[in-house]
A = this chain, B = another copy of it.
Amino acid sequence: MPYFDFNATTPLHPAAFAAWRETTEQAWQNPSSPYRAAARAHALLEDARERLATLLGGDAEDYVFTSGATEANNAVFTHFARSAPATARVIVSAIEHPCVLEAAETWFPGRVTRLACNEQGVVRLEALDEALRTGGAAVVSLMAANNETGVLQPWREAQALCRARGAPFHCDAAQWLGKLPAETLADCDFLTGCAHKFGGPKGVGFLKVAASYAGFRGQRGGEQEHGRRGGTEDVPGIRTLVAALEAIAPRLAPEQAVWTEARARFEAGLANAVPDAVVVGADAPRLWNTTMFLAPRHENLRWVAALDRRGCQVSTGSACATGHDGPSHVLAALGVSPDAARRAVRVSAGWDTTPTEWQTLIEALREVWSDLEKEENNAGLVD
């Protein structure tokens, strides 16, 4: 069954599954306990940290394992809420993940500057530059790639601007890592990653904290994670995260062109199957796996359900927004009308999505479009 919701979550990579089983069987001890088997578990934990640093850059000790991107992103704002002056502001892009936006509003109520983006979904650096000029920013948060549109953000430039202005810079790279080479992401003061977006298990992620933020502490408790996060480390989960990223990382540079080409063929097919469908951020640099389009007619939940019946799993946007009323805040920031936003369908492929699966999706879209139009016409006749 063609699965096109990799931005929501991924199945566990076989190498990751093997790592979980092995660690669960052989290194289940508490890594903080004082005997040799526990010391082995601790060594395996630190080995995982070293391997993550090898993959992404920077020092192993800077990586703090968390329960996922949501905890990591929350921890950044909680940290600055406690350490920054009471009048400090935070600067976030308008298209950040809800866990950044809500954490910012929770801990800096009324003191959140939201950066606008252009109609392609790229955050405007001029807006950041202007916001930084007024000073007093406790932290700036900009994602590496947007989860809904796949549009890449100017995090390198934002990081440079922040460095020049002395503002801490946080980058939520949950959607970038495992899809594109990590490049210099580890140079960011704070960097968030999430295992279940790249073939790892749910419930594990990390926050890289630059060594200069020595006072950083996430959740309180014991001295785990080099004193930066209390709580018994999930050594099996952590090693599984690293195994997943190690399995994927070597493919990213060599296969990117093939993956991008497959998505381009899909978008050509989409234009033919659903005339007047508009791909969001089509002219912006995007993740190779993501196509968000606005259908010309019919609510996205009808598209999703009909595609599901035809064997294709796609999404309406962010899974975490389910339960929220109202259309996507990301599309609103792009200037998409609420009406059009309710016709947004997100397609996000994986590393092993086949040309046949892409073609299946095109044909399903063609049929669903035809069916929905017929239903609508019939409903009109009955009325």
Contact = CB atoms under 8 A, between A and B. Distances in A.
Interface string A184-228: 000000000000100001111000000000000001111110010
A232 B28 contact: no
Contact of A234 (B32, B37, B201): B201
Interface stretch (A7-15, A55-63, A125-133): A7-15
Contact of A220 (B8, B99, B202, B222): B99
Size range of the interface on A? Answer: 35 or more
Contact of A221 (B35, B98, B201, B308): B98
A112 interface: no
A40 to B, nearest CB: 12
Contacts of A223: 320-324
A61 B196 CA distance: 25
A11 B29 CA distance: 7
Contact of A202 (B103, B196, B237): B237
Nearest to A73: B221
Contacts of A73: 221
Interface stretch (A251-259, A279-287, A311-319): A311-319
A246 interface: no
B203 A234 contact: yes
A102 interface: yes
Complex copy number for this chain: 2
Interface string A73-101: 11000100010000000000000011100
B234 A315 contact: no
A320 B222 contact: yes
A134 B234 CA distance: 41
B304 A35 contact: yes
Nearest to A97: B221
Interface stretch (A64-72, A160-168, A363-371): A64-72
A103 B320 CA distance: 28
A150 interface: no
Interface of A: 1, 5, 8-12, 17, 20, 24, 28-30, 32-38, 66-71, 73-74, 78, 82, 97-99, 102-103, 106, 196, 201-204, 219-224, 227, 230-237, 301, 304-305, 307-308, 313-316, 318-324
13 contacts: A5-B33, A9-B33, A34-B315, A35-B304, A68-B231, A68-B232, A98-B220, A201-B234, A201-B236, A203-B203, A222-B318, A222-B323, A224-B320
Given A5-B35, A9-B28, 15 more contacts: A9-B232, A29-B313, A32-B323, A34-B301, A34-B316, A34-B319, A35-B315, A66-B67, A67-B71, A70-B219, A71-B71, A98-B221, A103-B221, A222-B323, A231-B320
